[in-house]
């Protein structure tokens, strides 16, 4: 029986990145829809659960993407609401690569630091990737400064991640670009700003004595941290261990491909942040 993936994207154009990755993961057929929201998704889901018998439903799966994580989360909830009894298919949510990229970044960092002893700063912490990086770090005991150019936006994102936890601290990126006070006591910096946004350089970061690991996820020049190459993978610059976007991206792609394959192993998998991170931990050890 053909493996069919239904790509539900909250943006007008369903992500070509997600489409190519799905096809490269060995599916037989991709059905892509853009502008999917909680009002129009149910018939699309019913089309997946009523077309094949229960024992064959594992051959159909759903992927949720798009640039807006909150919309993706709402869509995931609505999709699950439409399931009942055995009438369900497996679902993966990865809006803008948020979960796979964040999981790969955290697993890379964990090779060098203990999360329960970590104070991290996430630059661009309000984007899809940055907020998931913060969520994973904070849920494993790290203290995380979630930064933005706007303190109120940083506060809002901290409350969305977990309004009850003191592990998430809103921070503002200083306009002059001197990050030293922001980084005081931090051993991990993850730059998750928009593509082509440069925040700082490795020379300045070397002045921050506590800093042990720096990960820059931006692959589009100028890179997020000048002096880190996008291909860097655990490269030592002075006392700091550095990763660039492609240095993390290999593991990100491995996780993404693996989980698309896993969707078709059963009809009841839900792959969101914690499940994707758990897979990343296993894959990162191989």
- The binding site for ligand NAP (CB under 6 A) comprises 96-97, 101, 124, 126-130, 148-150, 153, 192-195, 197, 217-219, 245, 248-249, 252
Tell me how far, at minimum, the Cβ of 75 lies from ligand NAP, in Å.
17
Q: Report the residue closest to ligand NAP, judged by CB.
A: 127
Tell me how far, at minimum, the Cβ of 228 lies from ligand NAP, in Å.
12
In this complex, which beta carbon is closest to ligand NAP, that of residue 82 or of residue 283?
A: 283
**CA–CA gap between residue 167 and residue 145 (Å, rounded):** 8
Tell me how far, at minimum, the Cβ of 257 lies from ligand NAP, in Å.
13
In this complex, which beta carbon is closest to ligand NAP, that of residue 48 or of residue 148?
A: 148
In this complex, which beta carbon is closest to ligand NAP, that of residue 26 or of residue 222?
A: 222
What is the biggest distance separating any 2 CA atoms in the chain, rounded to whole angstroms?
Answer: 62
Tell me how far, at minimum, the Cβ of 105 lies from ligand NAP, in Å.
8
Tell me how far, at minimum, the Cβ of 119 lies from ligand NAP, in Å.
20
Q: What is the 3-state secondary structure (H, E, C) of the chain?
A: CCCEEEEEECCCCCCHHHHHHHHHCCCCEEEEECCCCCCCHHHHHHHHHCCCCHHHHHHEEEEEECCCHHHHHHHHHHHHHCCECCECCEEEECHHHHHHHHHHHHHHHHCCCCHHHCEEEEECCCCHHHHHHHHHHHHCCCEEEEEECCHHHHHHHHHHHHCCCCCEEEEECCCCCCCCCCCCCCCEEEECCCCCCCCEEHHHHCCCCCCCEEEECCCCCCCCEECCCCCCEEEEECCEEEECHHHHHHHHHHHHHHHHHHHCCCCCCEECHHHHHHHHHHHHCC
Tell me how far, at minimum, the Cβ of 280 lies from ligand NAP, in Å.
12
Tell me how far, at minimum, the Cβ of 249 lies from ligand NAP, in Å.
4
Among 262, 17, 270, smallest CA distance to 128 is for: 17
In this complex, which beta carbon is closest to ligand NAP, that of residue 49 or of residue 242?
A: 242
In this complex, which beta carbon is closest to ligand NAP, that of residue 96 or of residue 118?
A: 96
In this complex, which beta carbon is closest to ligand NAP, that of residue 78 or of residue 132?
A: 132
In this complex, which beta carbon is closest to ligand NAP, that of residue 42 or of residue 281?
A: 281
């Amino acid at each position: 029986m053909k493996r069919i993936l239904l790509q539900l994207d909250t943006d007008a154009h369903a992500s070509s990145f997600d489409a190519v990755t799905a096809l490269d993961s060995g599916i037989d057929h991709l059905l892509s829809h853009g502008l999917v929201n909680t009002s129009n998704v149910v018939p699309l889901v019913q089309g997946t659960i009523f077309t094949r018998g229960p024992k064959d439903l594992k051959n159909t799966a759903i992927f949720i993407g798009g640039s807006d994580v909150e919309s993706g989360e709402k869509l995931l909830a609505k999709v699950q609401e439409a399931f009942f009894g055995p009438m369900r298919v497996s679902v993966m949510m990865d809006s803008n690569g948020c979960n796979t990229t964040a999981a790969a970044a955290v697993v890379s960092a964990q090779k060098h630091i203990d999360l329960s002893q970590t104070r991290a700063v996430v630059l661009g912490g309000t984007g899809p990737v940055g907020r998931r990086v913060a969520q994973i770090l904070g849920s494993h005991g790290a203290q995380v400064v979630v930064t933005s150019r706007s303190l109120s936006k940083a506060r809002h994102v901290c409350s969305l991640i977990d309004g009850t936890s003191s592990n998430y601290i809103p921070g503002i990126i200083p306009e002059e670009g001197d990050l030293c006070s922001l980084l005081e006591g931090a051993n991990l910096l993850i730059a998750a700003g928009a593509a082509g946004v440069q925040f700082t350089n490795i020379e300045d970061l070397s002045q921050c004595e506590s800093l042990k690991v720096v990960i820059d996820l931006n692959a589009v020049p100028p890179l997020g941290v000048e002096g880190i190459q996008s291909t860097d993978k655990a490269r030592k610059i002075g006392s700091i261990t550095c990763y660039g976007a492609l240095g993390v991206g290999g593991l990100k792609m491995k996780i993404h491909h693996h989980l698309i394959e896993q969707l078709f192993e059963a009809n009841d998998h839900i792959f969101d942040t914690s499940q994707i991170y758990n897979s990343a931990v296993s894959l990162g050890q191989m």
